[in-house]
Amino acid sequence: MFVQKKFGIRFSFLLAAAMTMNSAACSDDSGNGNQNNLVDAAVHDATHNDDAGLCANVTNPCDHKGATRCVNGAVQICGHDANRCLLWQIDKVCSSAQTCVDDGSKAQCECNNDCTEGKTQCDQNMLQTCSKDQDDCLAWTDTQNCSDTSTTCLSEDDSAHCGTDCSQACEVGTKQCHGYTIQTCVAADPCPVWQNETDCTTTNQYCDDYGTEVVCNSCVPPADGCLTGYRCTMTTADVFACFPDGTQSEGEDCSTKECKAGLICMQLDSGPYQCLSYCQTSNDCAGDQTHCIWPWKDTTEVWGFCRDGCDPIQQTGCNNGEACYFSDPDQGSTLCWATGTIAENSACDSTTMCVPGSDCVVQAGTNPFEYYCRRYCDTAHPCDTGFQCIQTEASGLLKMCFPNP
């Protein structure tokens, strides 16, 4: 029994020792194996996994996991893909209110904060306010489209608002010419406005702005009442007004250039525009083949202009045995025709002609129409007593002697 016990103790001791040695031996083997595995894992994290050549063709590779950099306004971080290959990947895209900043140790999005919180500004007609965005950065954000309220985005000092722009409005109490009308600036909501005051054409005048005074004015051809370098001419409103002097002489084309003082640019019978002389009587028209017509009877009975054609008042421009008569009264045109024999103020018809200096026209107010030979006239060639030198629908642009009413 003693021997067996001793042997059992020894066997147990030896078995324990053997197990201890084996454990130590295994610890060396497996311990070294674990240490190698840890090293392999560290290398795997820090370098490309090329065991199967999977990382050979990786696009945008990197070397150190967790490294960061800035590329095109975004933060990129070095990390593994599905094959455990290290490559640059987008970590965060910086907003328009941020800038990607790399200080050498770390890249990150930082706020620009290019405005002061609460401030306002205009972006065209959009009202913007400086406020914090989702990244907690101060940035301009759209607040109100002023067009939605029919207003204008206005900047004043360091702020902006939607309102009415009165910067171009007139100054209350000032005057201006608007065509032929005098206007006065009056107070109104929201801005002062121009208000018509006087229509100068009602007195056959035009609006003249002297800078210090705005008045209805008139002038007389060629330049009476005008400043030096200006001429007096008839306007489209049939009133005389002062305009800059031109360069074109009588008879010259005025379709693109202005006439000299004393001339007016007119188109006759669908012909070209040409400079023609002003006239008050037939005496003012030079040559035998011109005569005076008066197209502005509603505004001035005195002034007309000289047009081509024989003179029916002075009876010039025709051959012997001919006399000058009207061709188209509405155009003031004339022609030479065989001399007539019907006396002045005598009844006439279309089959016979009046004596030279007279023409056959309808007497206003007659029904049925009555025609009489009436004499051509102007202020230099007046009518006899009991007659007046006027223009009627029948005489057109020419003046004739009609019985007093």
The residue type found at 135 is: D
Burial label for 215, CB within 10 Å (0-12, 13-18, 19+), is middle
Q: How confident is the model at residue 238 (pLDDT cuts 50, 70, 90)?
A: confident
Secondary structure element (H or E) that encloses residue 156, with its range: strand 152-156
Secondary structure element (H or E) that encloses residue 70, with its range: strand 68-71
pLDDT surpassing 80 at residue 40: no
pLDDT of residue 156: 84
Q: How many helices (H) and strands (E) does the chain have?
A: 1, 27
Q: How confident is the model at residue 346 (pLDDT cuts 50, 70, 90)?
A: very high
Q: What is the pLDDT of residues 98-119, one digit of tens each?
A: 999 999 899 999 998 889 999 9
Instruction: Sort strands 290-293 and 304-308 into parallel, antiparallel or unpaired.
Output: antiparallel
Q: What is the pLDDT of residues 66-80, one digit of tens each?
A: 999 999 999 999 999
Nearest in space to 291 (alpha carbons), one of 309, 303, 277, 304: 309
Burial 194-205 (b: 16+ CB within 10 A, else e): beeebebbeebb
pLDDT of residue 22: 40
Paired residues of 99 in beta bridges: 110
Burial label for 112, CB within 10 Å (0-12, 13-18, 19+), is middle
Using alpha carbons only, give the angle 360, 280, 179 rounded to the nearest 5 degrees.
Answer: 110
Nearest in space to 206 (alpha carbons), one of 65, 198, 398: 198
Structure tokens of 9?
């103790």
Residue 225 Ramachandran class (φ > 0 left, ψ -120 to 50 alpha, else beta):
left
| Domain residue ranges of the chain, discontinuous segments joined by + | 60-100, 309-405
Nearest in space to 243 (alpha carbons), one of 254, 253, 252: 254
Q: What is the pLDDT of residues 255-295, one digit of tens each?
A: 999 999 999 999 998 889 999 999 999 999 998 999 999 99
Structure tokens of 91?
């970590």
pLDDT surpassing 50 at residue 335: yes
Contact between 377 and 392 under an 8 Å Cβ cutoff? The reply is no
Q: How confident is the model at residue 55 (pLDDT cuts 50, 70, 90)?
A: confident
Alpha helices by DSSP H, 102-187: none
Backbone φ and ψ for 46, nearest 5 degrees, come out as -95, -20
- In this structure, the dihedral spanned by the alpha carbons of residues 103, 106, 108 and 113, taken in order and rounded to 10 degrees, is -30
Using alpha carbons only, give the angle 47, 51, 53 rounded to the nearest 5 degrees.
Answer: 90
Q: How confident is the model at residue 54 (pLDDT cuts 50, 70, 90)?
A: confident
Q: Rounded to whole angstroms, how far apart are CA atoms 89 and 86? A: 9
Secondary structure of 243-295 as H, E, C letters: EECCCECCCCECCCCCECCCEEEEECCCCCEEEEEEECCHHHCCCCCEEEECC
pLDDT of residue 11: 36
The pTM assigned to this predicted structure is 0.55
Q: How confident is the model at residue 19 (pLDDT cuts 50, 70, 90)?
A: very low
Residues 6+ apart with CB under 8 A from 164: 151, 152, 190, 191
Q: What is the mean pLDDT of residues 190-207?
A: 90
Structure tokens of 1?
């029994």
Backbone φ and ψ for 18, nearest 5 degrees, come out as -65, -40
Percent of the chain with pLDDT over 70: 87
Q: Rounded to whole angstroms, how far apart are CA atoms 355 and 338? A: 10
Q: What is the mean pLDDT of residues 163-172?
A: 90
Backbone φ and ψ for 388, nearest 5 degrees, come out as -125, 140
pLDDT surpassing 90 at residue 123: yes
Q: How confident is the model at residue 14 (pLDDT cuts 50, 70, 90)?
A: very low
pLDDT of residue 39: 34
The residue type found at 126 is: M
Mean pLDDT estimate for the chain: 85
Residue 52 Ramachandran class (φ > 0 left, ψ -120 to 50 alpha, else beta):
alpha
Q: How many CB atoms lie within 10 A of CB 394?
A: 19
Q: What is the mean pLDDT of residues 243-247?
A: 91
pLDDT of residue 72: 94
pLDDT of residue 29: 40
User: Could you give the C-alpha distances from 328 to 2, 22, 338, in angstroms and in order?
Assistant: 169, 142, 17
